[in-house]
Chain A
Amino acid sequence: MSDQSPFKVKIANENKKLIISIQGFIDKNFFNFAAELAKLSPKFDMIVFELAELTHIDSSGIKEWIRMIESVKPTPIALKHCPVFFVNQLNMVDGMMTFNTQVESCFVPYFNEELDKEISMLVPVVKSDNFLTSLQSQIERDGVVYNIDVVKEKYFKFLRILN
């Protein structure tokens, strides 16, 4: 099997925040990167993962992600621009979220059944009582109306995991 890494990372240091942008998909090859990250993490106040260009995470990637989360504790982790599939995995595999992890923003899917069209909207995740009710159930883009394609309470289950 090819062991070539299927993802690329860009790293930046912004005021003691380690910003990591991941492009591609996460699989078992994340292990090596995670090991390096564990060594680096104590030097930073926070690790920020920018996931807008993440395309997939498979089961071996989930395992390595959980290992990574454990290995950088207690350094806080922020997740930005989480794709929909990643949020689904966060909800299904609760070990992907720990007390030191927070989702800053994620994409929410909207769908138009008639036209069979889908779009995603970036939503800042705010810990407030009315966050879910304030989330738009319907949006309009270019004259097309899209309905939210998730059950809000289920999709944002990860907020409860954190609490």
Chain B
Amino acid sequence: MNSLQERKNLAEVVCGKMVFFSCICDVRDYTPTNAKLSVLCVSDFTSDQIIRTSINSKLKHIIQDGRQSLAEKLAFIKRLDSSYMEFYKNNFKILPESVEVKEFRFDRLYPKNKVCEQVFEYLGLKMNSNRAQPLKMCIYELYMNAQFASEKFKEQKDTTMISVLVEKQGKLISLSVHDHAGQLPFERVLNKLEKTAELGFSDSIYMGNGGAGIGLSLVYNYSETFIMASDIMAGTKMTVILPLDQNPEMLISNPKSFHVIQNLIKFKGNSYV
């Protein structure tokens, strides 16, 4: 299997710099035999050609339409092409045709069930709706991660507030959780997702003190698109897109895409708008 370092090197070879890369294939597809096909689709957003080449030559046969079509996913990547530096802005639209980006700001000690209730109320969802359970899981897990990180780094910087951003476009929901800790390497996330895909949930649970280590894998399984960016200056922003009109079983079997936005600092210095 290509190691993360090898994939990273490849990204750097292709781009010369690694700003943003996307894995349009499903992380769960990684196996020793198809690992090479799972090479991350890389773009430096200065050349559409790189996106097309990567997709056509390496990833085409494992990309499938989910509830979000492949075209929509590519459109998202292309939109970031010109505005990826805006990703951290809390009014940045993940779903281009959503009416608004609703921002909720919470103190890091605010309980996760209350956060969930507010988001559900905004979206007009019932807390016990079966089809909304994946969204509920995503809210709990992403917010809980943000709480852990905010608590851990509270002595080093101001991590008091956590933002939860919600967009709705038809039956598609985009949910983002943005904390100010900003020290979550994407390699760690990818490793967790791959470990769960390989060993299953039960054998991936960390039984020591602390979290269970499967939260992000649950989120990944229950979403269609997973976008992350983590930067010490700008914080960590995790975004998922998932449909509300599918039952959890269908959602789990949908193809996934994983996108990382990385190294913005090279381009923006220390000033994040």
Q: Does A56 contact B (CB under 8 A)?
A: yes
Q: Does A138 contact B (CB under 8 A)?
A: no
Q: How many residues of chain B have a CB within 8 Å of chain A?
A: 39
Q: Which residues of A contact B116 (CB under 8 A)?
A: 56
Contact, CB under 8 Å: A58 / B109? no
Q: Which residues of B contact A55 (CB under 8 A)?
A: 113, 127-128
| Given A6-B113, A67-B207, A151-B249, A111-B201 contact (CB < 8 Å) | no
Q: Does A74 contact B (CB under 8 A)?
A: no
Contact, CB under 8 Å: B207 / A63? yes
Contact, CB under 8 Å: B249 / A66? no
Q: Does A1 contact B (CB under 8 A)?
A: yes
Contact, CB under 8 Å: A88 / B133? yes
Bitwise, A61-92 to B at CB < 8 A (1) or not (0) is 01100110000000000000001110010001
Q: Does B51 contact A (CB under 8 A)?
A: no
Q: How far is the CB of A12 from chain B (nearest CB, A)?
A: 25
Contact, CB under 8 Å: A120 / B127? no
Q: Does A45 contact B (CB under 8 A)?
A: no
Q: Which residues of B contact A4 (CB under 8 A)?
A: 111
Q: Which residues of B contact A155 (CB under 8 A)?
A: 249
Q: How far is the CA of A36 from the CA of B218 in the complex (A)?
A: 28
Bitwise, B57-75 to A at CB < 8 A (1) or not (0) is 0000000000000000000
Question: Residues on A close to B: CB < 8 A?
Answer: 1-2, 4, 6, 25, 55-56, 58-60, 62-63, 66-67, 83-85, 88, 92-96, 109, 111, 116, 118, 120, 149-151, 154-155
